[in-house]
Structure 1
């Protein structure tokens, strides 16, 4: 493998790709398989740690090439789809890189899917090989071309050369979006899609490959599933910058996360707000040494400004390094980034666009709010097996999100255009209500939907997850409303409530299943209105 340190450019220029003009870096990496050649640069550093298992950077390349040889024996070659179905592990990581080394297209199957969703995905994509963790083997449709999952005991033999291609526009990955209106959609990302987004993040954080000489190594705790775009970006980033990734075992547990941070001196963590909130609660009960943690990134759900302040107060080693951003699978991940200073000075903002990302707004209102449109080299090639696409004739990706840019160019996302609640002539963005709710002490999570009302058209309904102590309050509804009055207009305060201590129902992408909640709450509202007549 090559020991030459690649140079990744800091400046962008317009290039034509597939009839669209995109902002692109030059020089840049073209292929994900080529990045594996840089793993040996970090020989001696752990790449993956999970329990007693450890995979070093220096061993990743050989392990992936041995696995690639095994896949080739199963008939896998360039352009073939290889399904990966498993929980986070070193095997998952090696199988991904082995597929890329052959020029194959990994299909990241959601391990939480139902049997019917599995069947639909396999029927749609007809993978040439299925790599499945034995714990999930029962979910694979009968007759699928199953190949071995483990990577530690692959027989030694000739190592295949990297696929002979420098085409960055070839499909590199298929992963799935939420299925709130049907089956999940299969998003096809190119090598360009994934590398472009990563390049932008490394550029603004000064972590380009040629800038790393003498830089301290980082250790990241990864608590999300690898089969989502954030997981893929974390893995690729880890190889490029020589990062150690620590995987928990089993479902998220705040006490386990704390123990891992302390044991492995974790420096970086990206998580959804509820994970962080629960860790802070656990730390207050049984404190451990979390002083190694230097940066924290929140994403995946709305975070109230009070959570940012709580992190600064209770995790002094993090201080102002609490970042966030905005993105979606169809855009190849992140489109904007907000630094710790941004989240401190502009609570609630999503940050500035990455250097290669253009932002516009569809059908803007008088105050500039409209549907967020993105155009970037990182965006998807399309949905597999579908002619329809949210990318228009000018290359703009229609996100379905509502937002605006402030006078300094920062993006603010206010909700989903299809989720707006129309109550008595007033438009209410559920996201703004949810942000206010998760700022209430004792509230862990919340979902807000509109339900039909005979006079108002719709009314605001909320399902609120509270901790055990808060659930015992006899005045729970009044307590929450009293706090919301300082943050929301009276018409935006929910008039229908459901409180619970169990987690909210989620779709395969971990987004809250609002369709299911809306159906339940609508039935509850109809019964209440009928009883009142």
Structure 2
């Protein structure tokens, strides 16, 4: 029976793996490469659109198998690591599937890395081959074993070729290696098994009623992908699209709201997965009212809380979009997602990360002096290990220590309230920046903010807030409103109020680390009062 015909079940039972009990679907797929079978279900339907280029599902399958044969002919064997270094493109996607098809392990390198960072990653991972596009090839050391990035004209590749027949394989084998974002330190190489990738996919399809046996084959979504494919969220979008028959529209280059607006209009995009900063900057663009965006029905937002003003702006400026904006919470180390929220029209519930996905367990570890417990997660989606490192955030009972603080409300929704190590200690008082940021985002006129500690001679640290506003708000007005929402000792005493958007990192998230470093340098040099 093919994977397309196999039932993906809804029943969940506890199974023990390596002495650890996990909640898992009793009927489930076991190997990620078999998802490529679904391409035959969608045939000539467009799968990837980038600019004027269109790649069908048949093209995808044919290209991935042909490239897989090419890799095998160059000596790639099952279990070999292949370093993928490139920007979003049809070739990136085909190379990814080709690696899986021959049983190799794609290593999803960050295309933003410097030459030194690329060299360090290659030295640590020791891949059998590196595939790099033209824009990234110059950062690959000369002594690295390289293969061709492109595959030639897909239509000239000939027949689909024979499927790989490597015998029975375990779902515990490594499927891919992906890197943490590195926003709080050096990026770590996260090893994800086939079980981890497919468990998250099945949970997502289950809660959205899109399991393979539930799909309406006449319907499809056109989804805009603005995040890099080498991040875990985009990876799941890629896997899901093959199963359900979605068309993926890839943006080109760095995030540009003008390009995104044009892309939505031209391709009749229906869904967009984004971080709040991307959405805010699109809504700020002068062309937003001049483009036909009526095709856009859903925006899924992750990476940061959705505040009330952003929700209201989406409802006003993008009236075709459902007012229930999906959000969620997760880490690369747990496969990218642990909770999901369908969104809410209740302003009091905005900012919640939603409820745990069907196979995810959550508990809280108290820390002395901190207001809430650390979030611990256990799920079949979590990583096997960090490649090349003995350290692990997963304890002997299988609980992933996230470093995030949180709590569950009486409806079972998870609220993220801070970081264990991202605390400001002011005169002996522990202050969670996330709580202040959430309070600031509840003030009309505040569109973005970051809060962090800066050195103080007597108190040790004082609270610094950088606020982006589209109104004429003063420091005094912000302080007065905050005093009604948070403890007086947590109200920032240092401020920067600006109109310019906050700096972001390569994922589109606000780069708190860079902003904090800049402000601290200005304070040290006497350039900030």
Shift of 1:328: 0.5
Question: Structure 1 residues 491-500 or 407-416, which shifts more?
Answer: 491-500
Q: Are residue 113 (structure 1) and residue 95 (structure 2) matched?
A: no
Distance 2:158 2:480 in 1: 69
Q: Are residue 190 (structure 1) and residue 196 (structure 2) matched?
A: no
- Map 1:137-286 → 2, pairs under 5 A: 137-153=137-153, 156=157, 159-162=161-164, 163-180=166-183, 182-214=185-217, 216-282=219-285, 286=289
Distance 1:285 1:33 in 2: 40
Match of 1:86 in 2: 86
Match of 1:96 in 2: 96
Q: Are residue 327 (structure 1) and residue 330 (structure 2) matched?
A: yes
Kindly tell me: are residues 511 and 417 of structure 1, through their superposed partners in 2, closer, same or farther at Cα, counting changes over 3 Å?
farther
SS in 2 for 1:418: coil
SS in 2 for 1:220: strand
1:349 equivalent among 352, 355, 370: 352
Distance 1:517 1:236 in 2: 34
Distance 1:452 1:136 in 2: 39
Match of 1:496 in 2: 494
User: What whole-Å deviation, never above 9, does each CA across 1:63-98 have from its counterpart, x for those lacking one?
Assistant: 100010111122112111001111111100000000
Shift of 1:407: 1.5
Match of 2:64 in 1: 64
Distance 1:283 1:323 in 2: 26
Provide the aligned C-alpha RMSD in A. 2.7
Distance 2:498 2:358 in 1: 43
1:521 equivalent among 519, 522, 526: 519
Using the size of structure 1 for normalisation, the TM-score is 0.91
User: What whole-Å deviation, never above 9, does each CA across 1:96-116 have from its counterpart, x for those lacking one?
Assistant: 000000111100110111222
Shift of 1:528: 5.3
Question: Structure 1 residues 441-450 or 311-320, which shifts more?
Answer: 441-450
Distance 1:131 1:460 in 2: 46
Q: Structure 2 unaligned segments of length 5 or more: list them.
A: none
Question: Structure 1 residues 337-346 or 261-270, which shifts more?
Answer: 337-346
Question: Structure 1 residues 353-362 or 482-491, which shifts more?
Answer: 482-491
Shift of 1:248: 1.3
Shift of 1:320: 2.3
Shift of 1:516: 4.2
- Map 1:411-490 → 2, pairs under 5 A: 411-438=414-441, 444-465=447-468, 477-478=475-476, 480-481=478-479, 484-485=482-483, 487-490=485-488
Shift of 1:440: 5.5
- Map 1:283-432 → 2, pairs under 5 A: 286-341=289-344, 346-363=349-366, 369-432=372-435
SS in 1 for 2:47: strand
Kindly tell me: are residues 334 and 526 of structure 1, through their superposed partners in 2, closer, same or farther at Cα, counting changes over 3 Å?
same
Question: Structure 1 residues 119-128 or 511-520, which shifts more?
Answer: 511-520
Kindly tell me: are residues 3 and 524 of structure 1, through their superposed partners in 2, closer, same or farther at Cα, counting changes over 3 Å?
closer
Shift of 1:160: 4.8
Question: Structure 1 residues 236-245 or 497-506, which shifts more?
Answer: 497-506
Distance 2:344 2:504 in 1: 32
Distance 1:455 1:77 in 2: 62
Match of 2:77 in 1: 77
Distance 1:297 1:321 in 2: 9
Q: Is the 8 A contact 1:343 1:349 kept in 2?
A: no
Shift of 1:51: 0.4
Distance 1:528 1:119 in 2: 38
Match of 2:10 in 1: 10
Shift of 1:487: 4.3
SS in 2 for 1:297: strand
Q: Structure 1 unaligned segments of length 5 or more: list them.
A: none
Q: Is the 8 A contact 2:83 2:130 kept in 1?
A: yes
